[in-house]
Amino acid sequence: MTTSENDLAGLSQLGRHTVQPDNPETATLEKVPSPHRGRDYVVRFTAPEFTSLCPVTGQPDFAHIVIDYIPDEWIVESKSLKLYLTSFRNHGAFHEDCSVSIATRLVEVLNPKWLRIGAYWYPRGGIPIDVFWQTGNAPEGVWIPAQDVPGYRGRG
Amino acid sequence: MTTSENDLAGLSQLGRHTVQPDNPETATLEKVPSPHRGRDYVVRFTAPEFTSLCPVTGQPDFAHIVIDYIPDEWIVESKSLKLYLTSFRNHGAFHEDCSVSIATRLVEVLNPKWLRIGAYWYPRGGIPIDVFWQTGNAPEGVWIPAQDVPGYRGRG
Amino acid sequence: MTTSENDLAGLSQLGRHTVQPDNPETATLEKVPSPHRGRDYVVRFTAPEFTSLCPVTGQPDFAHIVIDYIPDEWIVESKSLKLYLTSFRNHGAFHEDCSVSIATRLVEVLNPKWLRIGAYWYPRGGIPIDVFWQTGNAPEGVWIPAQDVPGYRGRG
Amino acid sequence: MTTSENDLAGLSQLGRHTVQPDNPETATLEKVPSPHRGRDYVVRFTAPEFTSLCPVTGQPDFAHIVIDYIPDEWIVESKSLKLYLTSFRNHGAFHEDCSVSIATRLVEVLNPKWLRIGAYWYPRGGIPIDVFWQTGNAPEGVWIPAQDVPGYRGRG
Amino acid sequence: MTTSENDLAGLSQLGRHTVQPDNPETATLEKVPSPHRGRDYVVRFTAPEFTSLCPVTGQPDFAHIVIDYIPDEWIVESKSLKLYLTSFRNHGAFHEDCSVSIATRLVEVLNPKWLRIGAYWYPRGGIPIDVFWQTGNAPEGVWIPAQDVPGYRGRG
Amino acid sequence: MTTSENDLAGLSQLGRHTVQPDNPETATLEKVPSPHRGRDYVVRFTAPEFTSLCPVTGQPDFAHIVIDYIPDEWIVESKSLKLYLTSFRNHGAFHEDCSVSIATRLVEVLNPKWLRIGAYWYPRGGIPIDVFWQTGNAPEGVWIPAQDVPGYRGRG
Amino acid sequence: MTTSENDLAGLSQLGRHTVQPDNPETATLEKVPSPHRGRDYVVRFTAPEFTSLCPVTGQPDFAHIVIDYIPDEWIVESKSLKLYLTSFRNHGAFHEDCSVSIATRLVEVLNPKWLRIGAYWYPRGGIPIDVFWQTGNAPEGVWIPAQDVPGYRGRG
Amino acid sequence: MTTSENDLAGLSQLGRHTVQPDNPETATLEKVPSPHRGRDYVVRFTAPEFTSLCPVTGQPDFAHIVIDYIPDEWIVESKSLKLYLTSFRNHGAFHEDCSVSIATRLVEVLNPKWLRIGAYWYPRGGIPIDVFWQTGNAPEGVWIPAQDVPGYRGRG
Amino acid sequence: MTTSENDLAGLSQLGRHTVQPDNPETATLEKVPSPHRGRDYVVRFTAPEFTSLCPVTGQPDFAHIVIDYIPDEWIVESKSLKLYLTSFRNHGAFHEDCSVSIATRLVEVLNPKWLRIGAYWYPRGGIPIDVFWQTGNAPEGVWIPAQDVPGYRGRG
Amino acid sequence: MTTSENDLAGLSQLGRHTVQPDNPETATLEKVPSPHRGRDYVVRFTAPEFTSLCPVTGQPDFAHIVIDYIPDEWIVESKSLKLYLTSFRNHGAFHEDCSVSIATRLVEVLNPKWLRIGAYWYPRGGIPIDVFWQTGNAPEGVWIPAQDVPGYRGRG
Ligand SMILES: [Ca+2]
Ligand SMILES: [Ca+2]
Ligand SMILES: [Ca+2]
Ligand SMILES: [Ca+2]
Ligand SMILES: [Ca+2]
Ligand SMILES: [Ca+2]
Ligand SMILES: [Ca+2]
Ligand SMILES: [Ca+2]
Ligand SMILES: [Ca+2]
Ligand SMILES: [Ca+2]
Ligand SMILES: [Ca+2]
Ligand SMILES: [Ca+2]
Ligand SMILES: [Ca+2]
Ligand SMILES: [Ca+2]
Ligand SMILES: [Ca+2]
Ligand SMILES: [Ca+2]
């Protein structure tokens, strides 16, 4: 079972002119039917261009974000995911909060069999924070490679 | 039990002049008997020269693909695998769909004890997609090293 | 459940002028409510700027420290963590002792579901010491990536 | 001749609460006297957290930026440099234009003996653009190490 | 002098629906005025998604291509460059020939102060070919970092 | 129990002038008693200088080979292993066949508690083949680090 | 429970002038009470400056050695460990034998809960030998990172 | 001026069944007209699959070889180069001698404007030998990137 | 002319119990005669364990420092250099100032033929500062390798 | 002009049983005629297995040593070089002294057109020393790649 034109009907953003959503609440995450329903495959998105604001100081924060999930009925439409991530640009949130919230939103929209997020934040005060969350153990027999993002090393 | 000349009889592509197949449907995946039947070894193919087309825009997509499998009766003849992968050059398919389809075709032809594919697509919209699928848990006692393809890091 | 302003009330260091604490005893580790209580996520701090003193010779020691933990009710406030780590600057302790003590203090303050520390000390006498400790097995279904700090290689 | 308190007088941003400037025009780049006037040393700033907007589509662009300069009378005050770079967050400019403009502004403010910028933009359409500019040959006898930012490699 | 809307008038491909050109001859390389005329800056394009055909066997070839140039009056419009490079997909040419031809075409269109190309072809027969060409010595006082593409190492 | 002179008696190659064996059949793999019988340690040989011939075309093939084993009574004498591997220089065999055959021969000679081979062949047709085989699950409580040979990445 | 002065009483080498021991038998491995008895932490020593002699030819051998252990009552005093390792400088032993012997001696002195050694020998005859041994499965709930020493790659 | 069919006439090996030459003397290096005569471009061949024999012991030697040259009238036909390099398989020569001889032969056949060879031999006796030779200074205005083959590092 | 015992007479710190100097002014940099006077060799010190204080906030700063020099009559005694660098631990200085001051002091003490310092500071505000200074062009015919300290890359 | 049997006559160590020389004075560096006299090629030896003693404390020192030279009439016989380097095993010398002495000895024996040594010593007191010396500018038109030994980075 592969992706058909029908599967793409009803999408409001893919292949169209779109406006950058102002914040995560107004961003629309869209989905299409998984092309190989019944097969437990993993999809990984790597988003090194993530930025949000510090809720206390208003200063920009940056993160390298990697999302892995196993679709059930749906896969996320990738342009809408990009716009969703972009919508944090003027949004204030703490690192731990922001990272888990992105995953939560994806889980609500996709209802995947499993999902995890790794958020690798740029250092503040010399000490970067990474946040790792998953919905729980993955289903048996699924292959999920390590994200293997290099650790922060300071200098030298 | 090693490979004999008999094992290679009936192959239409190995050691012959061949024409590039136009699309995956017309490509012929060929197989030869596994040289060590009864032994559960893993064969890994690394194909960094994969390209297909976007089914919506017709623009080229690129991927670095790694395939691992445990033969049962058959191993794939490697020249036919190369021609099969090359046949996607003018074929349109979404990343998730295309990746799992390659694995599916190999499973049909080889009926292996186990197979997995890792497809590491070049970024579009700044966010690359990786797809990971396997037929299920590998048989007990087989050694399958990590694919360990470096993650996408953006710049810097 | 995300972080609210209430959660930050009572903090004495975040967003304020602070004095460097003289030693670990006088440093105040502060905490705020975990923004996603009920979710077992991992927080990683990477602190490559750690220094303390050798208790025998008084000479400076250096370490690259990585802390992973799963919050229960609380997360550590990161500025207070930084000040706490800084407070070892004029404190004398052996490598094994110092490394486990940091983790112990964090456990006392946060009462996390799980915590581990990796302390990668700079070589003395040509032989660096690394210390690894965790509170025990992590809860089921939580994702904890490897710390993956490169080993010491000498020269060449 | 080292930095004295006098040198810091008149600074409006260092050690004070500051507001993020809205755009490069309203940002104030400040300077302090070079601490070793008469010595031709090089100062390098590495700013991997740069982001601006595409002037055509309004979509975010990202860059890793490295600036090298040889002070004459002045060095740039680093907090003001950070705020200046941050001020591009909602500013639209093409890659080539934006990169050279940053350098131009620094030259106007500092009137350095020499300055160069390397701007390593994240890929768009699969092809990243890097921009390199310097004010001309550096003065004789000054040591300027290579910036040595890794090239973009796609995947694999 | 920065890029104005006028500079973009007359472009036929940027921001428009475009058809993939069939071959390099029918591809249209477009240009816009250099935003900082009078300044000798370097623009680098890194194109790891290049593919053409072997003129003898018709089999696909792949290359990682890096182009550096110093604009005089014009810079190349990057979408048209992408389409130009894509147009080699069904074009047959030897490695040495193809690499220098791309540079030649760019020189004809842009008449730059200086240009070079590094083409790093994937191995055939176990031995990759790299081709390096430049229009001659670069103008004095321009900074041109090394391309620093890792060499082919085989395995291990 | 360490290695004694008695253990080395009867060796025909170690410390002697030897002739290169012509093919694997005439090569003599020799063994000495394991110095710590009763202890399940792992021995790893890394042989990046392996070459054989393609059985169809007669052209040279190259591989980077890593062998891990847990001795029972015997360890292989390393000079004889080297000569055995060298004996494939003019021997024709397919990748899968050759890799598993080497392991098979070692198992026959040493009768180890466990053995595995990783054979990382240089690319042919742009696609390298790796072969991984082990005799089954290793005994409980033995430490066997990953071989961690970098994957083939093509260019760029 | 941290390290006290009492714990260091009775040490003959730490903080004193010492003579290099001539061979492993005359070297004195000393120990101090574990500072956090009751806690199962791991201590890693990385010793890239190890050298011994070939027992057959008398030629120097070199190794990069990594030791991990979980203390029970005692930790090894690190200066004495260094002197112990140095004592192999004029000692002849085969690779497998020497590696396991070092671990054996440490086990005798420390009686640790668990210990392992990885000995990564420099190549002889083009083929390096690595030896890996541990005392058995580690206690439950202890964190033991991979040693992750890069494999030998030959050249290129 | 690009490559025409005429240019390929008279080649005896390209696109034909060929026999492995027995030794360098019987190997035929063939050439075709340079496709862009008048342009000083550099061609780099990277050959990590080189092997020859030690003239004293008859044991195999291995090298990673990189050749750079600037064609005058001719470029080398790459299949013939491969066969030429393969012809050293059973040929005995010292490292310094063998490396310079390969370059000498290419110079005789191609009469290039400039040529250099870097031969990076695998270690013998723990000490690898590299040999670097060029025909002299390259012509002015030609771009020749560093070969940048990683040095031998031993272990660790 | 090599180092004799006489050369070491008069040293107050080497091979003696020493007290950590409180600040750079009270630290004593000592020197011994250059062992090969008349030969222009380069000595490089790599000091990744440098820390000082911010003169404004009193917070710790960290740097990785590399010093290269060509001795004239004297070389610096390395233990005194270590103690000198350690003496900045409680000393406040700006990055540019501190870096050049260290070099200045060494020049005063050693009067070398040439000296340079590279100071690679840990990021503050997300933007690390590097400082590079040398006394001028090195004497002709001296070999001075690049320091080649990796640039700061943020995350990902 | 290649190496003949005559060239090897008179060698006392190559291909013979040899005794380890006790110290550098008793070691015999041997030479053979350069196989391509009249050609200015560079020979590089990489010796990561160097060890000597500290002349003050008698403790072992370690270094990774790289030697480059351009032969005139003679090349060094590599087995004798290995034995010469091994002869420092029980020899005491300071880093600067020892490094330049090795080069001096080679110059005396070979009278090369040019020679340089890079000695990369393992850290002592947390600060490694590198020593770089060459005989002066190399002859015109000779290609001498960078040694490119990675710098010491401490931890992290
Ligand atoms: Ca892209
Ligand atoms: Ca990895
Ligand atoms: Ca040390
Ligand atoms: Ca890793
Ligand atoms: Ca090493
Ligand atoms: Ca190939
Ligand atoms: Ca490089
Ligand atoms: Ca690639
Ligand atoms: Ca690894
Ligand atoms: Ca290799
Ligand atoms: Ca060797
Ligand atoms: Ca920071
Ligand atoms: Ca570099
Ligand atoms: Ca980055
Ligand atoms: Ca390099
Ligand atoms: Ca570091």
- Identify the helix (H) or strand (E) that includes residue C132: strand C129-134
Show residues of chain E in contact with G156, CB under 8 Å.
151, 153-154, 156
CB-CB under 8 Å, B120 with D156: yes
Q: Which residues of I touch D143 (CB under 8 A)?
A: 116, 132-134
> Is E78 annotated in some ligand binding site?
yes
User: Cβ distance G20 to J31 under 8 Å?
Assistant: no
Ligand 8: distance of its center to the CA of F68 in Å?
A: 30
pLDDT, tens digit, 9 for 90 and up, residues B128-142: 999 999 999 999 999
Tokens linked to A19? 């406006």
Distance set, CA B132 to CA A71, B144, E142 (Å) = 12, 15, 46
Neighbours of ion ligand 13 (CB under 5 A): D 148; I 148
Minimum mean pLDDT among A58-67, C9-18, E28-37: which range? C9-18
Work out the number of other CB atoms within 10 angstroms of the CB of residue J1: 13
Which residues of chain H are within 8 Å of residue F60 when distances are taken between CB atoms? 49, 51, 86, 89
Q: Is the pLDDT of residue G49 over 60?
A: yes
CA of C36 to nearest chain A CA: how many angstroms apart?
Answer: 7
Q: Compute the distance between CA of residue G114 and CA of residue G116 in angstroms, rounded to an integer.
A: 7
- CA dist., res. C119 & res. C103, Å (int): 10
Average pLDDT value for residue range J105-113: 98
Helix/strand/coil (H/E/C) assignment for every residue in chain J: CCCCHHHHCCCCCCCCCCCCCCCCCCCCCCEEECCCCCCCCEEEEEEEEEEEECCCCCCEEEEEEEEEEECCCEEECHHHHHHHHHHHHHCECCHHHHHHHHHHHHHHHHCCCEEEEEEEECCECCECEEEEEECCCCCCCCCCCCCCCCCCCCCC
Ligand 7 centroid to residue E149 C-alpha, Å: 8
Rounded Cα gap, residues J142 and J145, in angstroms: 10
Percentages helix, strand, coil for chain D (3-state, rounded to 5) are 20, 30, 50
E54 has pLDDT over 90: yes
Domain ranges of chain B: 38-134
Q: What is the pLDDT of residue D14?
A: 81
Mean pLDDT of B37-48: 97
Cα–Cα distance measured from residue I99 to residue I132, given in angstroms and rounded to the nearest whole number: 8
Q: Which residue of E has its CA nearest to F123?
A: E126
- In sequence order, the 6+-apart residues with CB closer than 8 A to the CB of D102 are D65, D67, D85, D88, D117, D119
**Length of chain J in residues, anyone?**
156
- Diameter over CA atoms, chain C: 54
Reduce the DSSP state of residue E131 to 3 states and report it.
strand
What does the pLDDT read at residue D4?
A: 74
Q: Does B156 touch chain I (CB under 8 A)?
A: yes
Please report the pLDDT score of residue I2 as a whole number: 64
Any F CB within 8 A of B64 CB: yes
Would you identify the CATH topology of the domain D36-134?
A: GTP Cyclohydrolase I, domain 2 (3.30.1130)
pLDDT at position G18, please?
83
Q: Given C61, C97, C130, C148, which residue is catalytic?
A: C61
pLDDT of residue G69: 98
What value does the mean pLDDT of chain E take?
94
Using the mean position of ligand 8's atoms as its centre, give its distance from the Cα of residue E150 in Å. Answer: 10
pLDDT at G7: 78
Please state the rounded mean pLDDT for residues H127-145: 97
Contact D122 B63 (CB under 8 A): no
Q: Which CATH code of 3.40.50.10800, 3.30.1130.10, 3.90.1580.10, 1.10.1740.10 fits the domain covering E17-134? A: 3.30.1130.10
Q: What's the gap in Å between the CA of E83 and the closest CA on chain D? A: 10
| Average pLDDT of the residues in B135-152 | 97
Residue H47 main-chain phi, psi, to 5 deg: -120, 90
- Annotated active-site residue C54? The verdict is yes
Contacts of G20 in chain J (CB under 8 A): 58-59
Picking from G28, A63, J56, the residue whose alpha carbon sits closest to that of residue I8 is J56
> How does residue F10 score in pLDDT terms, banded at 50, 70 and 90?
confident
C6 membership: H or E segment, kind and range = helix C5-8
Where residue H72 falls among pLDDT bands split at 50, 70, 90?
Answer: very high
A119-145 burial, b for 16+ CB within 10 Å, e for fewer?
Answer: bbbbbbbbbbbbbbbbbeebeeebbbb
As a whole number, mean pLDDT of residues B26-47 equals 96
Question: Does residue F144 surpass a pLDDT of 70?
Answer: yes
Q: Which of H125, G52, H61, H128 is nearest to J14 (CA)?
A: H125
Nearest C-alpha in G relative to J63: G49
- Does residue F101 have a pLDDT over 80? yes
Mean per-residue pLDDT over chain H, rounded: 94
Q: What fold characterizes domain F33-134?
A: GTP Cyclohydrolase I, domain 2 (3.30.1130)
- pLDDT of res. C9: 77
- What average pLDDT does chain F have? 94
Domain at I39-134: CATH architecture: 2-Layer Sandwich (3.30)
Taking only the tens place, the pLDDT of each residue in G60-114 is 999 999 999 999 999 999 999 999 999 999 999 999 999 999 999 999 999 999 9
Q: pLDDT tens across F56-91, in order?
A: 889 999 999 999 999 999 999 999 999 999 999 999
Among D14, D34, D66, select the one facing I151 at the smallest CB separation: D66
Summarised one tens digit per residue, pLDDT across range C139-151 is 999 999 999 999 9
Distance from CA of F134 to the nearest CA of H (A): 25
Residues 6+ apart with CB under 8 A from G114: G69, G70, G134, G135, G136, G137, G138, G139, G142
Partner D contacted by B129 (CB < 8 A): no
Neighbouring chains to F with at least 3 Cβ pairs closer than 8 Å: B, D, E, G, H
Contact B43 F128 (CB under 8 A): no
Q: What is the CATH number of domain J29-134?
A: 3.30.1130.10
Cross-chain residue pair E122–B20, CB shorter than 8 Å:
no
Q: How many CB pairs under 8 A join C and J?
A: 45
Phi, psi of J108 (to 5 degrees): -60, -45
- What is the whole-number distance in angstroms between the Cα of residue J105 and the centre of ligand 3? 29
What's the mean pLDDT when you consider all of chain G? 94
Burial of J58 (C-beta count, 10 Å sphere; 0-12/13-18/19+) = exposed
Q: Is the pLDDT of residue D96 over 70?
A: yes
Q: Return the residue matching tokens 């390969």.
A: H102
**Chains within contact range of chain G (3+ C-beta pairs < 8 Å):** C, E, F, H, J
**Residue H65 C-alpha to ligand 8 middle, in angstroms?**
21
Based on the number of CB atoms within 10 Å of its own CB, is J20 exposed (0-12), middle (13-18) or buried (19 or more)? middle
For residue C124, the SS3 value is strand
Contact H23, H60 (CB under 8 A): no
User: Which chains reach chain I with 3 or more Cβ–Cβ distances below 8 angstroms?
Assistant: A, B, C, D, J
pLDDT band at E2 (very low <50, low <70, confident <90, very high): low
User: Which of E87-91, F17-21, F133-137 shows the lowest mean pLDDT across its residues?
Assistant: F17-21
Per-residue pLDDT, A54: 94
- The answer to whether residue B62 scores a pLDDT higher than 80 is yes
| Residues in B 89-128 with any Cβ partner in F closer than 8 A | none
Distance, in Å, from the CA atom of J90 to the CA atom of G60, rounded to the nearest integer, reads: 12
Q: How far is ligand 3, taken at its centre, from the CA of residue G37, in Å? A: 28
- In Å, how far are E93, E94, E99 from H4, measured between CA atoms? 10, 10, 16
Mean per-residue pLDDT, B111-129: 97
Percent above pLDDT 70 for chain J: 97
List CB contacts (< 8 A) between J116 and chain I. 143
pLDDT tens by residue, chain I, 156 residues: 566 777 777 888 887 778 889 899 999 999 999 999 999 999 999 999 999 999 988 999 999 999 999 999 999 999 999 999 999 999 999 999 999 999 999 999 999 999 999 999 999 999 999 999 999 999 999 999 999 999 999 999
Q: Would the pLDDT of C2 be above 70?
A: no
Asked if the model's pLDDT at residue J14 lies above 90, the reply is no
- Per the prediction, chain J carries an average pLDDT of 94
CB–CB of C149 and J126 under 8 A? Answer: no
CB contact under 8 A, I127 and D81: yes
Q: State the catalytic residue, choosing from A7, A61, A68, A98.
A: A61
* Burial environment of residue C90 by CB neighbours within 10 A (0 to 12, 13 to 18, 19 or more): middle
**pLDDT over 70 at A1, yes or no:** no
Q: Check whether A52 is labelled as a binding-site residue.
A: no
Average pLDDT over chain D, rounded to an integer: 94
Other Cβ atoms less than 10 A from the Cβ of H28: the count is: 15
Report the pLDDT value the prediction gives residue A15, as an integer from 0 to 100. Answer: 76
* pLDDT > 70 fraction of chain G, expressed in percent and rounded: 97
Return the ∠ at Cα H34 (arms to H32 and H40), rounded to 5°.
Answer: 150
- Check J86 against G60: CB less than 8 A apart: yes
Between D75-84, F5-14, H100-109, I99-108, the lowest mean confidence (pLDDT) is in F5-14
Measured CA to CA, the distance from residue G41 to residue G47 in angstroms comes to 20
User: What is the dotted CATH code of the domain comprising H35-134?
Assistant: 3.30.1130.10
- The alpha carbon of J126 and the centre of ligand 3 are apart by a number of angstroms equal to 4
Q: What distance in Å separates the CA atoms of residue C33 and residue A57, rounded to the nearest whole number?
A: 20
Q: pLDDT tens for residues H113-123?
A: 999 999 999 99
Question: Containing H/E element for F95?
Answer: helix F95-110
Read off the pLDDT band of E62 (50, 70, 90): very high
Rounded Cα distance, D117 and D98, in Å:
11
> Which CATH number describes the domain made up of C32-134?
3.30.1130.10
Active-site annotation holds for D61 = yes
What's the gap in Å between the CA of H126 and the closest CA on chain C?
13
Residue H121 with chain G: CB contacts under 8 Å:
155
Q: What confidence score (pLDDT) does residue I11 get?
A: 86
> E strand or H helix at B102, and its extent?
helix B95-110
Q: Are E65 and E101 in contact (CB under 8 A)?
A: no
CB E52 within 8 A of CB E113: no
- Mutation site, F7, F143, F148, interface G, largest G CB count within 10 A: F143
The pLDDT of residue A85: 98
Q: What fold characterizes domain B38-134?
A: GTP Cyclohydrolase I, domain 2 (3.30.1130)
